[in-house]
Each structure stands twice: as C-alpha cells, then as structure tokens.
C-alpha cells in the first residue's frame, strides 16, 4: 500500500536528511518520487544505505521541532529531516552543520567553477520554448553526483520529473563533476531518452546575457 496518502504529490520532492546525533554530517540530498519510492519503508531503506547508518533507519524527524514523518506525503519539498532508528531525536543544530567553505578552497574536492569563471547554461530536454537555465553555484562541484542532479531537479523543473542525467549538446552523457567545463552548455534529461534538437541555434542568441553555468 502506498504511503503517499491521498494528497496530490509533485513529480519530485527533494529533501536533505541528516544522521541523528552526528554533528559533523552535512546532510544528504534525496529526490523522492512515487515511482522510485512507493512506500515510506522503501525510502527509509535507501536512507539507511546512503547515510551508511549503523542501524536501520526507522524514523524521520524535523530537526527543530522533532515532528515525525508518518508518510511520504508528509515530506515537504526542500525540507530538512533527521534520520533515526528507534532512538529519540538528538537535539543538535543540524541546519548549520557542514557549512561550505569560501570559494577557491579545497580544490581537490571538485572542479572550481564560479559564476564569474565562464558562460554556460542548462537546457531542458526537448524544450525549445525556454532559454537555457542559468545556475548560480558555489565554487566547487560536489563529488556526490546524485546531489548535483538533485540540485538540477530543484532548479530546472523538468516536466518529466527528476533529472536523471546530464548530457552534452551532442547527447553524450556526463557522469561526474570533473567532466563539466567552463563555457559549455548541457541538457538536463529525466528518465526519457535525450532528444537531439538544435538547442544552441534556437535558444542562445548572440547577445544573450543569461548563460551562466554554476552550482548550488
């Protein structure tokens, strides 16, 4: 039986989840859809695996008030939650953990890309009515590629739901942050196939001022 409840659900909900009692955990981003996670139990199993929790995750709590999540339909898009087993919520300032460092530091963790470094953008797969989406991102690309795709899901808002992959304009997929290059354009693709369309020719006028590629 589905645990989404009777309320209509959006194509995808992106949430950030912390480990209970772990003051050093910056949180892990998850994209939640009815197709991928039909029940709360299925989602908790994935949270257990992704967070490498020592015990199975049985409960999700809001970090400030400790409200429990009874069904997937209770998850708020963009919300923050704490994953716990059968123990109670440990009170910590989860929302201020794992603050990102200033741009230009710890370069080894990912490619340094800032809004001022070059021009680029992200197209929506098959969409010839919208311009490329400018993203203002931090100075480095996260090593966790699924976190980056979750960010694209939030910002690009594909009609097909979550962003499952990023492709170059010729359709070849990008599988990790280190492959992204300044000044290049990419296409955000869901579960559907990449649609070979003249994105650049139709959507990027020569004087376009909306061609900044970055990371959130």
| Confidence at residue 85, expressed as pLDDT on a 0 to 100 scale | 94
For residue range 87-136, what is the model confidence (pLDDT) as tens digits?
A: 999 988 887 765 443 333 333 333 333 333 345 688 889 887 777 777 65
- Give the model's pLDDT for residue 57: 95
What pLDDT score does 23 carry? 82
At 145, phi and psi to the nearest 5?
-65, -35
Nearest CA among 13, 14, 20, 15 for reference residue 94: 20
Q: At residue 203, does pLDDT exceed 70?
A: no
Q: Residue 124 belongs to what H/E stretch?
A: strand 121-124
Give the CATH fold of the 13-84 domain.
Ubiquitin-like (UB roll) (3.10.20)
- List all residues 6 or more positions away from 215 whose beta carbon is below 8 Å from its beta carbon: 113, 135, 137, 138, 140, 141, 142, 148, 151
Q: pLDDT for 127-161, tens place per residue?
A: 877 777 776 555 555 457 877 888 788 777 787 78
pLDDT at res. 13:
85
Q: What are phi and psi of 151, to 5 degrees?
A: -65, -45
List Cβ neighbours of 107 (8 Å cut-off, separation of 6 or more).
140
Note the pLDDT tens digit of each residue in 44-89.
Answer: 999 999 888 888 999 999 988 899 999 998 898 888 999 999 999 9
Q: Cα dist. 215→55, 125, 159, 179, 200 in Å? A: 33, 19, 21, 14, 21
The ranges assigned to domains in the chain are: 13-84, 121-203
The dotted CATH code for 121-203 is 3.10.20.230
Q: Per-residue pLDDT averaged across 183-205, rounded?
A: 81
More confident residue, 195 or 106: 195
* pLDDT more than 70, % of the chain: 72
Mean pLDDT across 22-38: 86
- Please report how many Cα atoms fall inside a 13 Å half-sphere around the Cα of residue 104, on the Cβ side: 2
The dihedral formed by the CA atoms of 140, 182, 143 and 170, expressed in degrees to the nearest 10: 160
Is residue 123 within a helix (H) or strand (E), and if so which, with residue range? strand 121-124
Domain 13-84 and domain 121-203, same fold? Reply is: yes
């Amino acid at each position: 039986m589905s645990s989404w409840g009777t309320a209509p659900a959006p194509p995808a909900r992106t949430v950030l989840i912390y480990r209970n009692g772990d003051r050093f955990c910056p949180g892990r981003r998850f994209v939640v859809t009815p197709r991928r996670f039909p029940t709360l139990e299925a989602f908790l199993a994935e949270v257990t695996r992704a967070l490498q929790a020592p015990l199975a995750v049985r409960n999700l709590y809001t970090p400030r008030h400790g409200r429990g999540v009874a069904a997937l339909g209770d998850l708020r898009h963009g919300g923050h939650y704490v994953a716990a087993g059968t123990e109670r919520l440990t009170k910590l300032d989860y929302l201020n953990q794992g603050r990102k460092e200033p741009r230009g530091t710890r370069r080894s963790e990912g490619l340094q890309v800032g809004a001022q470094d070059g021009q680029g953008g992200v197209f929506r797969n098959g969409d010839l009515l919208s311009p490329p989406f400018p993203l203002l991102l931090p100075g480095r690309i996260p090593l966790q590629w699924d976190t980056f795709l979750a960010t694209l899901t939030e910002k690009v808002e594909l009609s097909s739901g979550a962003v499952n992959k990023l492709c170059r304009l010729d359709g070849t997929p990008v599988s990790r942050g280190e492959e992204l290059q300044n000044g290049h354009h990419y296409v955000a693709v869901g579960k559907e196939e990449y649609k070979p369309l003249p994105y650049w020719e139709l959507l990027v006028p020569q004087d376009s001022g909306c061609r900044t590629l970055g990371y959130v």
